[in-house]
């Protein structure tokens, strides 16, 4: 079993939809949880960064962490075609070296 599991998709939604992206993990030592967006032929770009359990909102993006279930989510409201990309979850403990999921490919069609 991988430390971080993420469905690769692709996930295809119409413009304006609410998107839900999820990851599960097995390492209880993880304390920091991140979501990255990666466009084709580009490096990952950090979207959201949370510590421990709870919610964090930034514009159209909301990150949720449930440490008791070892489950994290990223919600995107009012999705746009420009949101089409691969979304990578990542997490780490004291080493500050992130362990990444394999990424979910999101397609938002007009």
Partner 1 sequence: DAGVTQSPTHLIKTRGQQVTLRCSPKSGHDTVSWYQQALGQGPQFIFQYYEEEERQRGNFPDRFSGHQFPNYSSELNVNALLLGDSALYLCASSSTGQGLDTQYFGPGTRLTVL
Binding site for partner 1 (CB under 8 A): 4, 6, 8, 32, 34, 41-46, 49, 88, 90, 92, 95-103
- Closest to partner 1 by CB, 64 or 104: 104
- Closest to partner 1 by CB, 43 or 59: 43
Contact in structure between 14 and 101 (CB atoms under 8 Å): no
Q: How far apart are CA 64 and CA 87, in angstroms?
A: 15
- Closest to partner 1 by CB, 17 or 49: 49
Minimum Å gap between C-beta 74 and partner 1 is: 14
- Closest to partner 1 by CB, 8 or 16: 8
Q: How far apart are CA 46 and CA 33, in angstroms?
A: 11
Minimum Å gap between C-beta 70 and partner 1 is: 17
Minimum Å gap between C-beta 46 and partner 1 is: 6
| CA dist 25 → 5, 68, 75, 89, 99 (Å) | 6, 11, 18, 10, 10
Structure tokens at 30: 């993880």
């Amino acid at each position: 079993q991988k430390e971080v599991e993420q469905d690769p998709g692709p996930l295809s939604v119409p413009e304006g939809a609410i998107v839900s992206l999820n990851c599960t993990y097995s390492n209880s030592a993880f304390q920091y949880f991140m979501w990255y967006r990666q466009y084709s032929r580009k490096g990952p770009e950090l979207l959201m960064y949370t510590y421990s359990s709870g919610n964090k909102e930034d514009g159209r993006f909301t990150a949720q962490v449930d440490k008791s279930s070892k489950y994290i989510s990223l919600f995107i409201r009012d999705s746009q075609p420009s949101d089409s990309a691969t979304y990578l979850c990542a997490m780490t403990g004291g080493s500050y070296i992130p362990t990444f999921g394999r990424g979910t490919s999101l397609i938002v069609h007009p």
